[in-house]
Amino acid sequence: MLQLVDALLSSTLDAAPALVFAALGAVLSERAGVVNVGVEGMMRAGAFVAAVAALVMPTPLGVVLGMLAGAALAALHAWLCIRFRADQVVSGMAINLVMLALGTFLLEARFSPNGTPSIEQLTRWGSGVPVLGGHTALTWLALAAPFALHAVIQRTRFGLRLRAAGEKPQAVAAMGVSVSRLRFVAVTCGGLLAGLGGASLSVATLDRFEHNMPAGLGFMAVAAMVFGRWTPLGAAAAAAFFAFGNALRIGLTSSAPQVLEVIPQGVLLALPYLLTLLLLAGQKRGAGKAPAALGTPYDPELR
Amino acid sequence: MNVLYGLYHPDGGELAFDGQAQKVRSPQDAIARGVGMVHQHFTLVPNLTVAENVVLGAEPTRGGLFDLEAAVRVVDETCKKLGFSLDARARVDRLSVGSQQKVEIVKALRRGAKTLILDEPTAVLTPQETDDLFRITRELSEQGSTVVLITHKLKDVLAFATRIAVMRRGRKVAEVRPADTTGAQLAELMVGGAMHDPAAPPSPLGATEPFLTLEGVSAEGLHDLSLEVRAGEILGVAGVDGNGQRELAEVVTGLRPLSRGRLKLGATHWSQLTPAQARACGVAHIPEDRLHRAMVADMTVEENVALGRQHQAPFARGLFIDFAGRRARTAQLLEAHDVRPRDPVARMGSLSGGNQQKLVVARELDTAPRLLVVVQPTRGLDIAAVNAVRQKLLERARAGCAVLLVSLDLEEVLALADRVVVMFEGRLNGTFTRGACDERELGRRMLGAAA
C-alpha cells in the first residue's frame, strides 16, 4: 500500500512540471489582461525544439532553446494582440493549429512519424530518497516556481503594475506607465514558462518528442489557471491535482491490470480530462473572478 | 483638458507652464510639468488598496521589493496635510465615491501636482461630500496650487471659483469673476442666448389615483419597499449611487425579479413581472445607460425608433416591415423632438449624446405611456439638451402620466419632482414634498441618518 502511494506521488511529481509551468505562464499572461489559449502551441514548440536541440547539444541547453521557442511564439501572440488588436482567442487558437501542423510536418520530414530519436534525459538526482528523490531539477523548480511567481505578483513593483494592467489599464496609463510594454513583457515571459513546460515533457517525462505532444496538456494548464482563480499558488495546486489524476491512470493500469477488464482503456485515458471537466463544472460561479480587463485591447480613448 | 494632460495632441498653438512654452506629448510629460488630473470616471484599480493605487507608476521599493509600508506612510502624510481621513490599506472598491475621489486627489498630489484638474467632480457627490471637496480644494489653492474645475453646475463655480471661463463649442466665450455675475447670466453665456428655465409649475395633485403601487417589495438590493406614484405626478428618487435606485427602476420595468411583495400597475397586481408585461401595462423606460439598454448604435435611427414595437403598426404590416410607415413616424418624431440631424437613416451611433437621448425620450413617449421610469435622464448632456429633455418630462407628467425619476443629481430631482423619496441601502429613508425640501436634510438622509 505504502509502496503504491509512493509510486503514485512520485509519478505525479514526474508529470507535474509540464502542467505547473504552463499554468503559471498562462497566469502571468492573463493577469496582465491578455487571454492566452495558445499555451498548447507554445508547449508543443518548446517540446519539439528542446528534443531536437538535445540531439546535438547538452540537454539543459536544449531546454533553454525550448523556452525561447515558447517565448518567440508568445511574442508573436502579444504583437498581434497588442499592436494589431487581434482577437486574443483567435490568435491563440491560430498558434495552436499552426504548431500542430508545423510540428507534425517537421517531425515527418526530418525524423519518423512517431517521434524523434531518443535523447539523453535530464539527470535525475537523489534516487533512493522516497517520493522527492529520483527527479530532475525541473521537478524541484516546479515546486519552487509558484511561490516565486506569487512573490513577484504580490510583492514587486512589476507585479503591482501587472495586476493593475489586467484590472484597469487606463489607471496604469494615466500614471505614465506603458500598458503595451507591460503586457508584451508579461505575455512573452508567460511563453517562456509554457516553453519550459513543453520542454520538460520531451526531456524529463519522456526522452524524445512524440507526435502528439503535449496532447491537450496546454488546455489543461489553462483550465488549472481558471480553477486556481488566476493566482500562481491556486493554479499550481490545480495543475498538481490534474497531474495526480494522470498518475492515477498510469498507476491503475500498471499495478492493477485487472481493472482494464472492467473499465475500458479509453475511459482511463480520459480520466484526467474528465477530472478537469468535473472540477470546472463544479466550481462555484463567480467565485474566481477573472481580471476585469481580460481580453480587451487597451484603448486610450476609452474611459 | 485632455490636451493639457497629454492624452490628446494640439493641432496648433502652444502650452506654457510658468511662462515657458512646452510640449506635452504624454501623461508622463504632464505629470513632470506638475499637472494632475481627476477624471470624471475615476482611473483607480478597484481591487488594489488605496496605498497601492496612489503609488502606482512610481512605487517606493526596498531591496527590489515593493515597499507597502512606505506607500501607506505617503498616503497618511498627504491626508494629514489636507485634513481628511482615508484608510490606506482599504481596498478601493469598498470605499464610497467621495472617498475614491479623495484617493484620486492624493494620487495627483503625490506626483507633485501643482495644477490640479477636476473634471465634473461633484456629479456623484452628496452636498456634504461636495462641501468637503471644496474645503480641500480651497486649502490647496491657499497652499499655492492651481485648481481647474470643469463642471456644468453653475452653483459650484459660483461658490468655489476665483475666476470663471465659459466655454462653448470648443471656444472660450467669456471670462468673469463670480462676484460680477449671476447663474442666469452664466447660463446665457453657455448656450449663447436667453434661457427659459423649465421651472416646474405646481402640479394638479391631490385627487389622482396612484398608478404604481409597491407593497413590501424585496428583491436583490431592495428591502421591503412600499411607495406609490400617482398619475400626473413626478416622484423623484434621491440617493447616493448604489443604494438601490437602479434596482428599483429595474423592478418596476420587469428587468429584475421580485423575491417578496408585489406591485400594482393600474388595476393589476403582479408578484412577477416581465419587461413585456410591464410594457403592455403602459410602462415606458428611459434607462440610465442608453448605449447599453436603450439603443443599438449600429442600427439606423428609424430602426431604433421601431425597437420594441417592430411588430405593430405603423412599423409593421402583418409579417412584414412597413418601411413607409416607419419612415413617416420617424420623421414626425425627429421634427417634434428637434433631433438633429433630421435623417431617419443616419447611424444611431453617429448622433451626439444629446440627440441620442432626445430620440430615446421621443420613442418612449411615443408609446403613450401611463408610467414613465426615468433614470439619470440628463447625465452627460449639454445644457440645451438637458432643458429639452426636462421640458418633455414635465409636459408629459402634466398630461397625466405618472413619472418615476431616479437621478444622482440632487439639483435635477429638486427641480422636477413633486415628491422626493430618499433611498439608503435599498430602503426608503424619508419622503419629502415639493416646497418642504431642505437640501441639507436630504443630504443627511442620503448618508443614512435617521429621521
Residue A299 lies in a domain: no
Average pLDDT (B226-250) is: 88
Residues of chain A with pLDDT under 70: 1, 131, 284-288, 300-303
Name the pairing type of β-strands B419-424 and B234-238. Answer: parallel
Three-class DSSP category at B427: strand
Pick B30 or A150 by higher pLDDT: A150
Preceding amide of B287 cis, omega within 30: no
Rounded to the nearest 10 degrees, the angle between the axes of helix A59-78 and helix A2-31 is: 40
In sequence order, which residues have a C-beta less than 8 Å from that of residue A80 and are 6 or more positions away?
A86, A91
Residue A296 lies in a domain: no
Residue B10 lies in a domain: no
Residue B188 lies in a domain: no
Residues of A in contact with B66 (CB under 8 A): 155-157, 159-160
Residue A271 lies in a domain: yes
In sequence order, which residues have a C-beta less than 8 Å from that of residue B66 and are 6 or more positions away?
A155, A156, A157, A159, A160, B59, B60
Lowest mean pLDDT among A40-54, B18-32, B95-109: B18-32
Q: Does A148 touch chain B (CB under 8 A)?
A: no
Residue B346 lies in a domain: yes
Residue B201: C-alpha distances to residues B97, B205, B410, B436 (Å) = 34, 11, 19, 15
Are both B231 and B338 inside the same structural domain? no
Are both B363 and B373 inside the same structural domain? no
Residue B235 lies in a domain: yes
* Tens-digit pLDDT profile for residues B255-302: 999 999 999 988 889 889 999 899 989 999 999 888 888 899 889 999
The answer to whether A251 and A243 have CB atoms below 8 angstroms apart is: no
Residue A298 lies in a domain: no
Q: Residue B302: which domain range? A: 295-367
* Tens-digit pLDDT profile for residues B143-189: 888 888 887 777 778 878 888 888 776 778 788 887 787 777 777 77
What's the mean pLDDT when you consider all of chain B? 83
Are both B245 and B375 inside the same structural domain? yes
Contact: B45, A300; criterion CB under 8 Å:
no
pLDDT score of A303: 44
Residue B17 lies in a domain: no
Q: Residue A49: which domain range? A: 2-282
Number of domains, chain B: 3
Residue B1 lies in a domain: no
Domain end, chosen from B342, B367, B392, is at B367
Contact: B44, A171; criterion CB under 8 Å:
yes
Catalogue the long-range contacts made by A121-128 (C-beta closer than 8 Å, 24 or more residues apart).
A121/A59, A121/A203, A121/A204, A121/A207, A122/A59, A122/A60, A122/A63, A122/A203, A122/A204
Domain end, chosen from B350, B367, B384, is at B367
Residue A297 lies in a domain: no
Are both B61 and B130 inside the same structural domain? yes
Residues of B in contact with A160 (CB under 8 A): 48, 52, 56, 59, 66
Name the pairing type of β-strands B146-150 and B115-119. Answer: parallel
Are both B271 and B382 inside the same structural domain? yes
Chain A contacts in chain B segment 26-45 (CB below 8 A): 26-28, 31, 37, 39-41, 43-45
CATH at A116? 1.10.3470
What are phi and psi for residue A176, nearest 5 degrees? 85, 25
Domain end, chosen from B367, B388, B416, is at B367
Three-class DSSP category at B441: helix
pLDDT score of A101: 93
Residue A15 lies in a domain: yes
User: What percent of chain B has a predicted confidence (pLDDT) above 70?
Assistant: 94
Rounded (5°) CA angle A100-A101-A102: 95
pLDDT score of A191: 95
pLDDT score of B195: 47
What are phi and psi for residue B136, nearest 5 degrees? -65, -45
Residue A261 lies in a domain: yes
- A142-169: burial string, b at 16+ Cβ within 10 Å, e else: bbebbeebbebbeebbbbbbbbbbbbbb
Number of domains, chain A: 1
Are both B243 and B316 inside the same structural domain? no
Residue A257 lies in a domain: yes
pLDDT score of B86: 82
Question: Taking Cα atoms as reference points, which of A7, A10, A5 lies closest to residue A133?
Answer: A10
* In the predicted structure, residue B142 carries a pLDDT above the cut 90: no
Residue B186 lies in a domain: no
Are both B51 and B148 inside the same structural domain? yes
CA A270 to chain centre: 19
Instruction: For residue B202, name the pLDDT band (cuts at 50, 70, 90).
Output: low
Q: Does A175 touch chain B (CB under 8 A)?
A: yes
